[in-house]
Structure 1
Amino acid sequence: MEMRLLGSSGAVVSKYALGTMTFGNETDERTSHRMLDEYLAAGGNIIDTADIYSAGASEEIVGKWLISNQSARDSVLLGTKGRFSTGDSPNDAGNSRRHLRRALEDSLRRLGVDHIDLYQLHSWDPLTPLEETLGFLNDAVSAGLISYYGFSNFTGWQLTKAVWTAKLHNWQLPVTLQPQYNLLEREIESEIVPAALDAGLGLLPWSPLAGGWLTGKYHRESVPAGNTRVGENPTRQFQGWDLRSGSPRTWAVLDALHEIASAHEVPPAQIALAWLAGRPGVTSVILGARTPDQLEGNLQAANVKLTAAEVHRLNEVSAPTVGNYPYGRDGLTQRSRPLG
């Protein structure tokens, strides 16, 4: 599998990461360990989890796998996240020094390790002073508890403010941003991607298949049912049937995916993943799977090589809708007449 630098750091990671949000909930421990083994065998080396995934069970499952496979700990880059509520106290959430210290300690315990390679803030905290949060992360790096840190679900201004606050204090700088990003969710390209590129942050996209929409299993003619994410919950946040099915853009993207996939003789999901892995700033695409078969199929995207014409077509049919000001053709960011 192709290897890439983790943002502006010197750490090297695989083009596809393994997300573990299903571990301990939709996927039992034995199956989770099998998926971890298959991912490692395929050449992957970056594992992403979080303290709130399955109320900590995801970290525990990954930790047990690492204990039973010591060589894996030396070869994988282990990432987790903290920020959201882990208890009933008002201090059991947020990006305060108090909460993050306890969250990090608990993650280290559940994972059975003495340090975490990539520790990420799961989202912005409007109540905690940014200096307090970044000061803690800098101290955690200095103490050897984490190697690098990054952000998840930050907006462009939040990301830029955090980077420059760290620079102002001569603190350790972040190296990654983990956003939602896929062919149906490209709005981050207006502000967030440019901010990440400007700061030298590597993107670790989550939900690369838009909650199953980009697998090609949904059709105009019928509301999904049964063992699919949207079928189980048609109002599912971000990927619900009502949210997506009424948009002509959704079906234009899916039509293009099906045609390109047919030409390559692969499932549509592999085309969607290959497109995303080639986007500017993307370091590693997080694969979230419920079964070994799903994971095996998604990992095959590493072998897909899209042509320039195919990439152009996908770019065109999935282009996000943005207002004219200040991004569109009449916006201030565009030249009104050629120069020279």
Structure 2
Amino acid sequence: MTDTDKLELSEKPITNRRTFLKTIAGVGLLSATPQSLLSSDTDDLLLKKFSDTGERLPVIGMGTWITFNVGNNIQTRNQRTQVLGTFFKLGGGLVDSSPMYGSAEEVLGYALDRLGRPQPSLFSATKVWTPFSRRGEWQIEESHKLWGLQQFDLYQIHNLVAWEHHLQTLQQHKHEGTIRYIGVTTSHGRRHQELEQIIQTQPIDFVQLTYNILDREVERRLLPAAIEKGVAVIANRPFQGGDLFFKLAHKPLPNWAGDIDCENWAGFFLKFVVSHHAITCAIPATSQVKHMIENMGALRGKLPDSKTRKRMVDYV
């Protein structure tokens, strides 16, 4: 039996310490597990409500940009399957991808097949990415095939490309039931003025944008607008594409990080992001199981209050 086979999902994600310990021990990961996951003050996953129906999402999701663009290499695909399996096992839900991400959607479909369908906690999120409306229809159809899904939980317009045309298309698919929620995305601080206008005037359910402990411009206008309009927010680049780890390499994790159940920088950065009232979910990307375990540590324990958030910003 391979490690990937061992990571097949049970009906429910892990929500208590005992089951978590058994799972990671079974795949040889116990020694790599941060202590915060072994001794969290709470067994509950951190979830946030994002719709009028009361539906909730785990605050830590998963991105696939670069990390799942691995082509046809079976060994690498199986390793990414293990990463995805670990994500689900530790309580993850939202998985985000795009046609822009090369083979990522195809690799996700492969991994979902290997892990076994259906995955009850999966909240599937992808995007349309083309300036041409007809090609957008083709992309939507192709994404359904690649993921192996009849219905997507969330379909987004990538980087606002031709958003006026694609929004009408997505609304039709939502009406037909092949899409549950609609959103738009941006990253790297681009097109914020236009994004704010869309939040204020268009019938969208989600917005995706860049937010991390150093890139906080969205706190001024975009996040308040999302709160006002009841739009859920997905935070991309919560690690600034990995740069935060390099920028803080010279600093030790502060001792008081333990007060919010953080024993690594990944948890520190992620808990800052998801503790903002407007943020529904953060989507860090990784290609390594050990890093996924660190990321998912932020799904449990305490979140920083406003005073601690300021202290975190001042420290970095």
Shorter-chain TM-score range: 0.7 to 0.9
User: Which residue number corresponds to residue 174 of structure 1?
Assistant: 204
Give me the whole-angstrom Cα distance separating, in 1, the residues matched to 2:191 and 2:53. Answer: 22
User: Which residue number corresponds to residue 314 of structure 1?
Assistant: 312
1:101, distance to aligned residue in structure 2 (A):
0.8
Q: Is the 8 A contact 1:216 1:269 kept in 2?
A: no
Q: Is the 8 A contact 1:8 1:175 kept in 2?
A: no
1:304, distance to aligned residue in structure 2 (A):
4.2
Which of the numbers 78, 96, 111 marks the counterpart of 2:147? 111
User: Which residue number corresponds to residue 229 of structure 1?
Assistant: none
> Superposed, which structure 2 residues align to 1:218-229 within 5 Å?
218-219=248-249
Deviations 1:157-216 (A, max 9, x none): 4234335554xxxxxx31111111101110111222122222211111111112223336
User: Which residue number corresponds to residue 106 of structure 2?
Assistant: 60
Give me the whole-angstrom Cα distance separating, in 2, the residues matched to 1:147 and 1:196. Answer: 19
Change (3 A) 1:72 1:38: farther
Matched to 1:273, the amino acid is L
1:111, distance to aligned residue in structure 2 (A):
1.0
Give me the whole-angstrom Cα distance separating, in 2, the residues matched to 1:265 and 1:14. Answer: 17
User: Which residue number corresponds to residue 45 of structure 1?
Assistant: 93
1:46, distance to aligned residue in structure 2 (A):
1.4
1:10, distance to aligned residue in structure 2 (A):
4.3
- Work out which structure has the larger RCO, using CA pairs closer than 8 Å and 6 or more positions apart in sequence: 2
Provide the aligned C-alpha RMSD in A: 2.7
Matched to 2:106, the amino acid is E
Q: Structure 2 length as normaliser, TM-score?
A: 0.74
Matched to 1:24, the amino acid is N
Change (3 A) 1:178 1:261: same
What is the identity percentage for the equivalent residue pairs of Structure 1 and Structure 2? 23
> Superposed, which structure 2 residues align to 1:244-283 within 5 Å?
257-261=253-257, 266-283=263-280
Which of the numbers 80, 92, 98 marks the counterpart of 2:126? 80
Q: Is the 8 A contact 2:199 2:225 kept in 1?
A: no
Change (3 A) 1:17 1:73: same
Larger Rg: 1
User: Which residue number corresponds to residue 295 of structure 1?
Assistant: 292
User: Which residue number corresponds to residue 133 of structure 1?
Assistant: 166
Q: Is the 8 A contact 2:200 2:225 kept in 1?
A: no
Q: Is the 8 A contact 1:114 1:145 kept in 2?
A: yes
Name stretches of at least 5 consecutive residues in structure 2 with no aligned partner.
Answer: 1-44
Q: Structure 1 length as normaliser, TM-score?
A: 0.69
Q: Is the 8 A contact 1:18 1:288 kept in 2?
A: yes
Give me the whole-angstrom Cα distance separating, in 2, the residues matched to 1:260 and 1:82. Answer: 42
User: Which residue number corresponds to residue 235 of structure 1?
Assistant: none
Name stretches of at least 5 consecutive residues in structure 1 with no aligned partner.
Answer: 84-92, 167-172, 221-253, 319-340
Question: Secondary structure of the residue that 1:151 maps to in structure 2?
Answer: strand
Matched to 2:113, the amino acid is I
1:43, distance to aligned residue in structure 2 (A):
1.1
Change (3 A) 1:64 1:258: same
How many residues are paired up? 263
